[in-house]
Amino acid sequence: MISPIAPAIASVLLASVLLQGAPSSVENPQEGAAVDIEILDRHPETSDRPVPPSATPSLEPVPDRRGEAGSGSSTLPPGAVLAASSWITALATVVLAVLTGVLAFFTWRLYSQAAQPQVVANLEPSKWSFIHLDLHVKNTGTATAFDIRVAFDPPLPRAKNVNEPPSTDAPSPDFEPPLSQLSLLKPGQAISSFQCAAAHALNNSYAVTVTWSRRPSSVRREKLEYVLNLAGIANLERLGEESPEVQTAKELRSIREKWEPIARGSKRLRVDSYSSLDRARERAKQEEIWEGQRAAREAEQPQAVASREEN
C-alpha cells in the first residue's frame, strides 16, 4: 500500500508549496499601476527655509518597471494564478479519489481473507471407548461452508468390533459413507460419527479430499487435500476417563444395571427390620446383662473388705 500512496502525498505537498510561493503584487484598483509616495522629512531647524518644488510630496503614479529587463522580479497575472490553483485542486481531488479506491480495495480484500471457511476431517478415539474411532468433520474457519463433500482413499473400514474383520467388499452404488456429504457447517461447528474399531485403521494412511462452497448456489468450489496417518496415536494411553461427564454417565449406568433385576423382582434384598417385640426382647437382654454385672460387683465387695482387714 505504500507504493501507490507515496507519489500521491508528494503531489499534494508540491501543490501546497506552489500555492504558498506564488508572487503577489499590491496594485492600485483604480489606476492599475503601483503608487510610490515620497515624503519629505522636515527638520525644525530648516522649517523657515523655502521648500523647493522638488521636495514636495509627489502623488503622481510611477510607472511599473518590474517587468523590464534587469529588474530581477516578475509578477504572474491574476488569471494565471487562479488557473494554476484550479488545476492543483483538481489534481488533489483526483489523487484523493484514487487513494479512496485503493483503501476500499484493500479493505474488501482483508474482509475476504478474514471470512473464509476451512473444513477438515479426522479420525479420533471415541470418548466412550478408547479402542474405537470416531469420524469428525469440523469447520475451523470463520465463515459458513456449504455443500461439503468428504472422501477417503482407500475407503475407511466399517468393522464395529475388534474381533470382527474389516469389510473388504467394495461399497455398493447406493451406499453412502457417514458424513460424506453435508449441507452446511457453521464456523466452529463439528459433527462426529462412530466409524470402526481402532485396530483396523491405525496402521493405514488415507488420502483425504474435502471440498466445499462459500455460497449455497456457487459453482466455484474450494478443495483441501492431505494425508491422514494414524500411526501417531497407535501407542496412545489414557489415565481415567476423558471428561467428568463420561465418568458420571458410566457410574449412573452401573447403578441402573444393578437396580434393574431388583425392580423386576428377580433378585431379593436382605433387609433388617425392627418391631416393638424386637425392641422388648433387646431391652430384656440388656437388663439381664446389667443384672449380671451388678451381682458380680456385689460378690467382689466382701472379698475386698476381707483382704483389707488382713493387711
As separate numbers, helices (DSSP H) first and strands (DSSP E) second, the chain gives: 4, 7
Q: Which residues make Cβ contacts (< 8 Å) with residue 191, sequence separation at least 6?
A: 136, 137, 138, 179, 182, 185
* Greater pLDDT, 260 or 58: 260
Q: Which residues pair with 153 in a beta bridge?
A: 207
The dihedrals phi and psi of 108, each to the nearest 5 degrees, come to -65, -40
pLDDT for 224 equals 94
Tell me how far the alpha carbon of residue 51 is from its chain's centroid: 94
* Greater pLDDT, 303 or 139: 139
pLDDT for 167 equals 59
Q: Give 206-217 pLDDT, tens digit per residue.
A: 999 999 999 888
Whether 232 shows a pLDDT value over 50: the answer reads yes
| Strands (DSSP E) found in the chain | 119-125, 132-139, 145-153, 181-185, 190-197, 205-213, 222-229
- Domain ranges in the chain are 1-19+80-114, 119-167+175-233
SS3 38: strand
Q: Which percentage of the chain shows pLDDT scores above 70? A: 69
Whether 219 shows a pLDDT value over 60: the answer reads yes
Contact between 201 and 208 under an 8 Å Cβ cutoff? The reply is: no
Average pLDDT, rounded, for the chain: 75
The CATH number given to 119-167+175-233 is 2.60.40
Q: pTM for the whole thing?
A: 0.50
Whether 147 shows a pLDDT value over 50: the answer reads yes
Q: Give 30-40 pLDDT, tens digit per residue.
A: 444 444 444 44
The answer to whether the bond into 154 is cis (omega within 30° of 0) is yes
| Strands (DSSP E) found in 48-155 | 119-125, 132-139, 145-153
Contact between 255 and 151 under an 8 Å Cβ cutoff? The reply is: no
Averaged pLDDT, 120-147: 90
pLDDT for 187 equals 92
Q: Give 71-110 pLDDT, tens digit per residue.
A: 445 566 777 778 888 888 888 889 999 999 989 888 887 8
pLDDT for 1 equals 43
